[in-house]
A and B are shown apart, each in its own frame.
Chain A
Amino acid sequence: MSRVAGTINIANDVLADLAGYAALESYGVVGMASPTVREGVAQLLSKDKLRKGVKIDNDAEGSVTVDLYVVIEHGTQLVEVSHNLSERVRYVLTSMAEVRVSRVDVHVQDIRVRTP
């Protein structure tokens, strides 16, 4: 009612950053990884390159699909951690950017074994 007319466009890179930060706060996820695994080793991405571990695509219905490339802590239930992760990412994208998320695919690129 009292809002100014206009549209809001949020770049997919911004959504990717939001998803990346949400992932890092998600329990069991120790980092984002690049979608391409070189020489069998997934690279942990540094905090300013998180978006490289996230792919955001727009689907025909105007919602987005999210692909997350992650490294998960060894010794955690991978499926449960991934499930929690996709819920959290969807929650953050829906509540912060009000985009509709039609699916979230989690790609576990590596597991990190705890350093003693």
Chain B
Amino acid sequence: MNEPTGLPPARQLITAAAEALKAQADEVNRLNVFPVPDGDTGTNMSLTMDAVVAAIERLGTSPSSADTCAAVTKGSLMGARGNSGVILSQILRGLCEVIAESPVVNAKTLSAALERSVEVAFQAVRKPVEGTMLTVLKDTAAAARGAAANDETVLDALDIAATEAFASVKRTPELLPVLKENGVVDAGGFGLAILLEGLVAAASGTEVRVADVSSAAAPLLNVAPVDDWDDAEYLYCTEFLLFGDGIERPMLEQFVSAAGGSELVVGDSGAYKIHVHTNDPASVLAQMTSLGEVADVHVNNMRRQQAERDAKLKAEQGEAAPTSPPKPIGVVAVASGSGLVEILRSLGADVIVNGGQTMNPSTKDIADAISRVNAERVLVLPNNKNIVMAANAAATVADRPVSVVPTHSVPEAFSALLALEPEQSDLRTAAEAMSEAASRVKTGEVTTAVKRATSKAGKIKSGQVIGIAADEIEVIGDSVLTVALELSDFLVTPEAEMLTVLAGADMSDADLGEITEKLQERHPDVGVEALRGEQPLYPVLMAAE
């Protein structure tokens, strides 16, 4: 490549861009929405760039522009990994075609090179999908064209192009619905923008600044872990890590899919995680140990596990003896956390369905629970906005009259249960009284963000503690204590008399004591009560009424 005056050599620029991408690879990986194709966009693009860097490192000192371009083209072609890697190789090919033939690299060259990239990259696909890496490339080329028309310097033009790339990435959810549904931006486009920014930083000698592209719609909480121990066809759920050089993923996938069902192969050359449902884990492992080193082997008997779990659930729920006469109204409530379950039970809930924010029970789970209640009529407390629908659906298929009290949190259920009079037999009257009671409760939740996001309270980094009240993120902070204290201000109104604090499974009694004490100091007019809810994921639940 011809070095434009004042710019570092091409080799240094490319290496820096590759490093910038590598540093963000995990971040890019996290944006993937398709569970199967191109599972690790960041890793794939980064490995493709590694091949490019390796190819230019094999060149002698001060290679000619044409040689560098040829090395970049060839390295990316041979090293292309995954869909994003193949697209990247076409982009680089287009860029190199123009740069190799240009005596100087100025803004006009950059613009022409990006234009050619667009051409080359779009030619390799019959039906380009908008809102992907290709869209970001197109927008970037347009920005470079504008910069060239304005006679910007090559460095400024590159900077303008990189800035537009991030802006374009941010717009991808508007173009591709699957991104919007998942609250992410396009991973490949983001990778491309990072590469450009890496070039800018290396050329101008500044730090790499990765623009915030998180979309406002980003969901904060992880979706439910897949509970797939429900495979009638196979007996064993087998999971392990496999290490070894030269193990090809397609070959692995083929073998694993022949061995059973629900197969999943994650990873890349040398390190894989494999998950498969099979009737013969021994032969799977025998085959795998012949390929490389196997570690962390887990073999679970799904049928037994399921039976054990059902039995345990039954025992936990301690169903009312069927010999006693049925109650006029029974209650099914959804909750997870031994403490919350115990409190619900002590307040009169008959059957508890295990579930919550990250594990929504199915309609069938709720319907089964209804059928186990020894009562003439049943009230269901879903205790989460996302479970209300399933509860309503369960009500329509139940074998007896059922009404749903649309509670959005477990503390709401506590108040609702207190409002249920034991001799009440009219379902509707009871449901209304309980809804009334539930609506007076203000619930706050403290948890940890698993993704970057933007909220009412500002930008959130992954790992920060957030406080949620009425489905809005109101507080962002770094410790559970400070967030809980600030969040309490959103809950405790002048009419409030009582503030209940429910400690999650991971919170120690000492921490709970400290939070309770500080809350009492902060709100001297209300009574603060501390209980152990043992709920997962939320170190603190608070309810004021």
Contact = CB atoms under 8 A, between A and B. Distances in A.
Contacts of A114: 120, 123
Interface stretch (A6-14, A34-42, A82-90): A82-90
B32 to A, nearest CB: 12
A27 B125 contact: yes
A81 B129 CA distance: 16
A54 interface: no
Contact of B126 (A2, A29, A80): A29
B86 A25 contact: no
A76 B85 contact: no
A87 B126 CA distance: 18
Nearest to A44: B126
Nearest to B90: A76
Contacts of B254: 103
B447 to A, nearest CB: 30
Residue among A30, A83, A91, A102 having the largest count of chain B Cβ atoms under 10 Å: A83
Given A2-B393, A2-B397, A25 B125 contact: yes
A67 to B, nearest CB: 16
A77 B396 CA distance: 55
B363 A77 contact: no
A15 B155 CA distance: 50
Interface in B28-43: 34-38
Nearest to B261: A100
B37 A76 contact: no
A1 B129 contact: no
A84 B83 CA distance: 6
A1 B397 contact: yes
Interface in B368-412: 393-394, 396-397
Given A77-B89, A91-B34, A30 B126 contact: yes
A29 B37 CA distance: 15
| Interface size class of chain B, counting residues whose CB lies under 8 Å from the partner chain | 35 or more
B124 A73 contact: yes
B162 interface: no
Given A77-B77, A83-B250, A114-B120, A1 B367 contact: yes
B77 A84 contact: no
Contacts of B428: none
Contacts of B126: 24-25, 29-31
A87 B393 contact: no
A100 B263 CA distance: 12
Given A1-B367, A27-B86, A114-B120, A80 B127 contact: no
B364 A1 contact: yes
B380 to A, nearest CB: 14
Interface string A52-65: 00000000000000
A73 B93 CA distance: 13
Given A1-B364, A88-B37, A75 B83 contact: no
Given A73-B124, A75-B77, A80 B86 contact: yes
A2 B80 CA distance: 47
A107 B341 CA distance: 57
B82 interface: yes
B87 interface: yes
B217 interface: no
Contacts of A81: 86
A78 B127 CA distance: 18
B345 interface: no
Interface in B87-114: 87, 89-90, 93
B257 interface: yes
Given A77-B77, A114-B123, 20 more contacts: A1-B367, A1-B393, A2-B396, A24-B125, A24-B127, A25-B127, A26-B125, A27-B87, A30-B124, A30-B126, A73-B124, A75-B77, A76-B77, A76-B124, A77-B89, A80-B81, A83-B250, A84-B82, A84-B86, A87-B37
Interface of A: 1-2, 21, 24-31, 73, 75-77, 80-81, 83-84, 87-88, 90-91, 94, 100, 102-103, 114
Interface of B: 34-38, 77-78, 80-83, 85-87, 89-90, 93, 120, 123-127, 129, 250, 254, 257, 261, 363-364, 367, 393-394, 396-397
Q: Which 9 A-B pairs have the closest CB atoms?
A: A73-B124, A91-B36, A24-B126, A77-B80, A24-B127, A84-B83, A87-B37, A88-B37, A25-B127
27 contacts: A1-B393, A1-B397, A24-B126, A24-B127, A25-B129, A27-B86, A27-B87, A28-B86, A30-B124, A30-B126, A75-B90, A76-B89, A76-B90, A77-B86, A77-B89, A80-B85, A81-B86, A84-B83, A84-B86, A88-B37, A88-B83, A91-B35, A91-B36, A91-B37, A103-B254, A114-B120, A114-B123
